[in-house]
Amino acid sequence: MELATNQRTNDVVVEALGLTKRFGGFVAIDAVDFEVRRGEVLGVLGPNGAGKSTTMRMIYQVTPPTAGTLRIFGLDTGRDARRIKAKLGVVPQIDNLDEDLSVRDNLRIQGRYHGLPPRLARERADELLAFADLQDKAKAEVRALSGGMKRRLTLARGLMADPELVILDEPTTGLDPQVRLALWDKMDELGKRGATLLMSTHYMDEAERLCDRLLIMDRGRIVASGTPRGLIRGALAPFVVEARLVAGDDRPFRRLAERAGAELVRAGERVSLFVDDGRAALTQLLDDGVDPERTFVRPSNLEDLFLRLTGRGLSEGPSGPVRGG
Amino acid sequence: MHAPSIGAIVLRNLWVYRDRWYYGLLPNFFEPVFYLLGMGVGLGFYVSSGGAFGGDYLAFISPGLVAAAAMNGASFETTYNVFVKLHFGKIYDATIATPVGIEDVTIGEAAWAVIRAVIYGGIFLLVTLMFGTEASWRLVPAVAAIALVGYAFAALGLAFTSVVPTIDLFSYYFTLFLTPSFLFSDIFFPVAERFPPVLVTFAQVTPLYRSVQLVRGVVQGDFATVPVDVAYLVIFGSALLTFAVWRMRARIVR
């Protein structure tokens, strides 16, 4: 019996049951259950305002839950905050590096915050400067770094304590494409070393590429969970015929959906028709008079899944499309 | 509260200071020189020739100016500097995601401000030696007194910083609180001999007044009010530091 309990504690790094966070009358997290298992890369996918950051802040002990249980490494959130934080590496959404210190000293002081002896902090700082390709910038001021370098330094800082769990809150939001790719490589490297990663993102390509398992969040709730492929296969037909409508006329799509028993999702002027045979569906639609320049076939993906689950796209906010931030 | 974490916060500030201390050194040194020259040697001639202060105005004002220097050192650290770290750099958000707690951050900043107050007030004290303060064993407890003054004003500064919504409001703190404190805390004249009793009572319960009495008492070897002054500054500082920790937590932890 005791063995079974220990086994469970060892395999499950984070366990949330009925986890709830309210800010005044606003329910940010609505009684969610989930777990993070040792060695996995777990992604939390959802649009802005879904509750991803709040969930992560509760795990790294800077936001107290309103209700529910949250156990991390088998320890109680709040009461054991210092012991929990000792084993965590946090990469926040916004770079909050210490601009008064050099690149290397940012890492060294992080080691000291974690109680590492000075020598170990120095050694690990140098290792992580190499990992983040920042050796040449060791003595530079943080201000002088590019956006991508800052992000890599923030990632390196999160690894200073040799954490059992690394939490990355939208690690690549706002980065240039090539900088994102470089960061993905670093995260792949961490995953291959067996680190446990919990990351949030609103990019489905990032989620598909990096994560072993996903939680899909919307308005404070987990609406689906599973492996990226499994989620798509389990809920959607393999292909999507997608079109931008002409003057809102979706009749050809409705007709085909009815005939083939296929699912039709409409979001504004965009329709998606989920089908088993993409080529056949496209042919029938073209025969029915749809505009070939506005219609195409592609494999179904996480974006479709999200759209189907919530009726909105990943880049849209909780109440319709939002611009920016 | 966790001593190694508080130490790490102090260490962080020490590293920043280590790279920049020489910028502050000349102003630190010359500020007391100018004050003692202007107020002590210059103005003091006319004041002293009138017969007050046993003919030595410079000796009267020196300890009070040392206390004020400690006040200023602690105040700048815990107001502008902490506010910038809190709101613009947001570095405490990163710090409290480590085992360091918000109480460690707040107490660590207070501890660092005490060190700054000792550096600032200590340099001032050394300069007064050049102007004729006797070098004696009493300079050792004087440094402890400076640290206590630093503690009280670090706590007060942090308490203010933990509640102000915008950096502009620090001018209220400096101009409407620290400046009158500086002028009416017995540094330049005995308040009790010049002001109506109500104002005197008011002045006597302000932290700088008690600080001036403490440093002057210790430097001049008159320990009559020292127990009261020490008790006042310890209680005042500890109460406000507790308040500051509470408010900082409310600000950062949501």
pLDDT at A261: 85
Mean pLDDT (chain A) is: 89
- B60 vs B63, B146, B220, CA distance in Å? 7, 17, 9
Taking a C-beta distance cutoff of 8 angstroms, is the pair A114, A161 a contact?
yes
Query: Which pairing describes strands A41-45 and A239-244: parallel, antiparallel, or unpaired?
Result: unpaired
The count of C-alpha atoms lying within 13 angstroms of the C-alpha of B251, restricted to the half-sphere facing its C-beta, is: 24
- Which one is predicted more confidently, A121 or B131? A121
pLDDT, average across residues A163-191: 88
Cα separation, B173 vs B168, in Å, equals 10
Of B89, B91, B99, the CB nearest to A114: B99
Cβ neighbourhood burial of A194 (10 Å; 0-12, 13-18, 19+) = exposed
A190 has a pLDDT exceeding 70: yes
CB contact under 8 A, B98 and A110: yes
pLDDT in tens for each of the 254 residues of chain B?
Answer: 899 999 999 999 999 998 888 887 777 788 888 989 998 888 888 887 666 676 688 889 999 999 999 999 999 999 999 999 998 888 999 999 999 999 999 999 999 999 999 999 999 999 998 888 777 888 899 999 999 999 999 999 999 999 999 999 999 999 999 999 999 999 999 998 889 999 999 999 999 999 999 999 999 899 999 999 999 999 999 999 999 999 999 988 87
Residues 6+ apart with CB under 8 A from B197: none
Residue to substitute from B93, B98, B248, interface A, most A β-carbons within 10 A: B98
CB contact under 8 A, B89 and A101: no
- Percent of the residues in chain A that have a pLDDT greater than 90, as a whole number: 62
CB contact under 8 A, B89 and A99: yes
Cα separation, A178 vs A30, in Å, equals 36
Residue A33, SS3 per DSSP: strand
Tell which phi-psi region holds residue A165, choosing left (phi > 0), alpha (psi between -120 and 50) or beta: beta
pLDDT at A133: 92
> In residues, how long is chain B?
254
pLDDT at A85: 96
CB-CB neighbors (< 8 A) of B94 in chain A = 90, 92, 96-98, 157
Crossing angle, helix A147-158 and helix A118-131, to 10 degrees?
A: 140
The DSSP symbol for B219 reads H
Cα separation, B27 vs A96, in Å, equals 31
CB contact under 8 A, A115 and B11: no
Q: What are phi and psi of B232, to 5 degrees?
A: -55, -50
CB-CB neighbors (< 8 A) of B15 in chain A = 101, 105, 109
A5 has a pLDDT exceeding 60: no
The Cα of A158 is separated from the nearest Cα of chain B by a number of Å equal to 9
CB-CB neighbors (< 8 A) of B101 in chain A = 81-82
Residue to substitute from A110, A112, A169, interface B, most B β-carbons within 10 A: A112
ipTM rounded to 2 decimals:
0.91
pLDDT at A75: 95
Beta bridge partners of A225: A215
Residue to substitute from A109, A164, A165, A198, interface B, most B β-carbons within 10 A: A109
How would residue A10 be classed by pLDDT, with cut points 50, 70 and 90? low
Question: Sheet containing A26-37: which strands, arranged edge to edge?
Answer: A26-37, A12-23, A67-72, A75-76
pLDDT, average across residues A108-134: 96
pLDDT at A321: 40
Number of cross-chain residue pairs from A and B with Cβ atoms under 8 Å apart: 69
Token reading at A130: 């190499």
Token reading at A45: 């996918």
Minimal Cα distance from B102: which residue of A? A62
CB contact under 8 A, B8 and A109: yes
Q: For chain B, report the end-to-end CA distance as a whole number of angstroms.
A: 20
CA-CA-CA-CA torsion sign (B4, B235, B143, B115): positive
pLDDT at A314: 66
Greatest Cα-to-Cα distance within chain B, rounded to the nearest angstrom? 62
CB contact under 8 A, B89 and A113: no
Cα separation, B187 vs B203, in Å, equals 12
Taking a C-beta distance cutoff of 8 angstroms, is the pair B90, B181 a contact?
no
A323 has a pLDDT exceeding 50: no
Taking a C-beta distance cutoff of 8 angstroms, is the pair A106, A157 a contact?
yes
- B13 vs A142, A321, B80, B152, CA distance in Å? 16, 44, 14, 19
- The pairs formed by B18-21 with CB atoms below 8 angstroms and a separation of 24 or more are none
How would residue A319 be classed by pLDDT, with cut points 50, 70 and 90? very low
A315 has a pLDDT exceeding 70: no
**pTM of the entire predicted model:** 0.88
CB contact under 8 A, B11 and A112: yes
The Cα of A161 is separated from the nearest Cα of chain B by a number of Å equal to 9
B136-174 burial, b at 16+ Cβ within 10 Å, e below that, comes to eebbebbbebbbbbbbbbbbbbbbbbbeeeeeeebeebe
Of A61, A82, A113, the CB nearest to B95: A113
Chain A: residues touching B (Cβ < 8 Å): 23, 60-64, 81-83, 85-86, 88, 90, 92, 94, 96-101, 105, 109-110, 112-115, 157, 161
Cα separation, A264 vs A50, in Å, equals 25
